[in-house]
Amino acid sequence: MSAVVSLTNVHKRFGAVKVLNGVSFEVGRGEVAAVIGQSGSGKSTALRCINALERIEEGTIEVCGHAVHDPKLDRRALRRDVGIVFQSYNLFPHLTAEQNIMLAPMCVKSLSKADARTLAQDVLARVGLAEKADHYPEQLSGGQQQRVAIARSLAMQPKLMLFDEVTSALDPQLTGEVLKVMEDLARGGMTMILVTHEMSFARKVATKVVYMHRGTVWETGPGAMLDDPQTPELRKFVGGEM
């Protein structure tokens, strides 16, 4: 299985605070990696470094053939290959769901308006929102807005999808809606890295779990490792999440 993402000895500081302290892990093509850990363990920072939203001080990051650590990185090319979905949906309020999705393919890939609309309708159907194409964000629930945000990323036909705690602001029912979409993507072979507190989802869907603690990878393994933690830190974390 070829690595789509490879982090090697990655270090990152914010001022005097060291947030990442030698992080190393790989994600292969078609894998679903769940990155878990307490708040402040460096999970979201690692995800942002993968998409070059943060610059690292030391180490290397290879993503879809791009050397993310290289100062000469073509960020535009990287972001054509990598989609990212955040906790906040970041939808344009003055555009419909369909228009929100059409924007990037037209601007970045120079798709015609007709082709972009066809693409938007396709990805909205994939996330179960075909009938909401003409709705504005304020007319959608939080779960529906998050699914539109996922559809917007899918419209760029990425090789890798990143999810940063996308369900943390949603109630249990809406969380279930979003997780179902992510599970469908996983079944379809999409390579995914998700920062999540959803332990049941990590157990069920993740092919790899990366437990971060104090800015480093503390323990890694398949989803089943959550039922048999090898370190006291992960045992305590999983116990607290149940």
pLDDT digits (tens, 9 = 90+) for 169-223: 788 888 888 899 999 999 999 999 999 988 888 888 899 999 999 999 999 999 8
What total of structural domains would you count in the chain?
A: 1
CATH of the domain at 175: 3.40.50.300
Domain that holds residue 54: 3-241
Reported as a single tens digit per residue, the pLDDT across 51-90 is: 999 999 999 999 999 999 999 999 989 988 999 998 888 8
Q: Is 138 exposed, middle or buried (0-12, 13-18, 19+ CB in 10 A)?
A: exposed
pLDDT of 242 strictly over 70? no
Residue 78 near residue 61 (C-beta atoms within 8 A): no
Residues 6+ apart with CB under 8 A from 126: 151, 154, 181, 184
CA distance 142 to 190: 24
pTM, to two decimals = 0.92
